[in-house]
Amino acid sequence: MTVSARRITAAICTYERYDLLPGAIDSALAQSLPRDAFQVVVVDNSPDPERSAREAAAFAGHDNLVWHHEPRPGLSNARNVAARLAGAPLVAYLDDDARADAVWLENVAGCFDQFGPAVQVVGGRIRPWWGAPRPDWLADEMLGDITVVDLGPHRRLLADGEWVAGANIAFRVSALAAAGWFDTSLGRTGGGASLLSAEETAVTDRIRALGGQVAYDPLAAVDHWVDPDRLTQRWFRRRAAWQAVSDYLRDPKARLAKRDEAWGAVKGFLLQQNPADRTMRGLALEQASAPDFRWQVSAVYNAVTALLAGLDERDDL
């Protein structure tokens, strides 16, 4: 079978994650589809091409694996490169710190087949692979911040407002091209210094605007590593601040329209704190309960949104 007859490409974009990357690649290679029906593309964005070549050598025996060192930084760019390298009409993205079930690609491709050409994006279940015990203050409603996705037990089309995540998301390559690919002004660059995100949401929104539909398949599932460094309240507050920046960049008009609402929500939170904590301190204090922490994180998001949109407080005369 020729490369052009392959059904689907598994794409793994990575940046200096050589400790976790081999497990992700092994899981992508061990799929239930026939070997000639899929390929694996690794786009290594790490800064050292010689190290990348040494790591690639461990997988040289796999004729359905392509390893590409990409010097231009940025996750969005790496995803675009992977899609252009794909030797199949479908590309499924797997994070370098995730492990795919053996039937992952089979179900992704099957979901596209079942719903037909109208479905141009498919997302799957993302289970947490805990690197440390889950904290008591981490409510179920906040699991999405660590990329946990479970939209139920059935394969189905998504409704407006529902979303799938980049750790386990697939596209028709033609739909990505028609939507202008991933926006390289969004997404992370150079490890964890920036938590800028929303690139997969932005391109999915553009695909939807062009008439494409999004589907979910719970059996197209992966386990996603939850680093212990993320299981701190400091990280979640930081994550909320960067999400506000990401959402503003993705749709500034919508965020501007919510400026006053966002600022009112911040003031509502701060007014419930002790008088000494009705400042930035109140947005940084450790919270004892899950509801209080969830409220604080929401206030952090709204504070950044309001600041980006431009505050204009005036004393009453």
Report residue 120 as tokens.
């141009």
Q: Is the pLDDT of residue 198 over 50?
A: yes
* pLDDT for res 261: 95
Q: Is the pLDDT of residue 3 over 50?
A: no
Task: Please report which confidence band the pLDDT of residue 210 belongs to, taking 50, 70 and 90 as the band edges.
Answer: very high
Q: Is the pLDDT of residue 194 over 80?
A: no
The answer to whether the beta carbons of residues 240 and 283 sit under 8 Å apart is no
Report residue 38 as tokens.
């899929």
Q: Is the pLDDT of residue 34 over 90?
A: yes
* pLDDT for res 264: 95
Task: Please report which confidence band the pLDDT of residue 285 belongs to, taking 50, 70 and 90 as the band edges.
Answer: very high
Domains delineated in the chain: 3-230 (3.90.550.10), 233-309 (no CATH)
Q: Residues 66-85: what's their mean pLDDT?
A: 94
Within 64-163, where are the H helices?
75-85, 104-115
* pLDDT for res 316: 59
Scan for tokens 């079930």, then name that residue. 101
Distance, in Å, from the CA atom of 276 to the CA atom of 262, rounded to the nearest integer, reads: 22
Task: Please report which confidence band the pLDDT of residue 2 belongs to, taking 50, 70 and 90 as the band edges.
Answer: very low
Q: Is the pLDDT of residue 39 over 80?
A: yes
CA torsion sign, 299 to 305 to 308 to 314? negative
- Residues in contact with 286: Cβ distance below 8 Å, sequence separation at least 6, in sequence order: 233
pLDDT in tens, 253-271: 988 999 999 999 999 999 9
- Residues in contact with 7: Cβ distance below 8 Å, sequence separation at least 6, in sequence order: 33, 37, 38, 88, 89, 90, 109
pLDDT in tens, 102-155: 999 999 999 999 999 999 999 999 999 999 999 999 999 999 999 999 999 999
Scan for tokens 């939850």, then name that residue. 226
How confident is the prediction for the chain on average, in pLDDT?
Answer: 92
Q: Is the pLDDT of residue 1 over 50?
A: no
Q: Which residues of 295-315 are buried (b: 16+ CB within 10 A; e: fewer)?
A: ebbbbbbbbbbbbbbeeeeee
Task: Please report which confidence band the pLDDT of residue 238 belongs to, taking 50, 70 and 90 as the band edges.
Answer: very high
pTM check: above 0.85: yes
Q: Is the pLDDT of residue 36 over 90?
A: yes
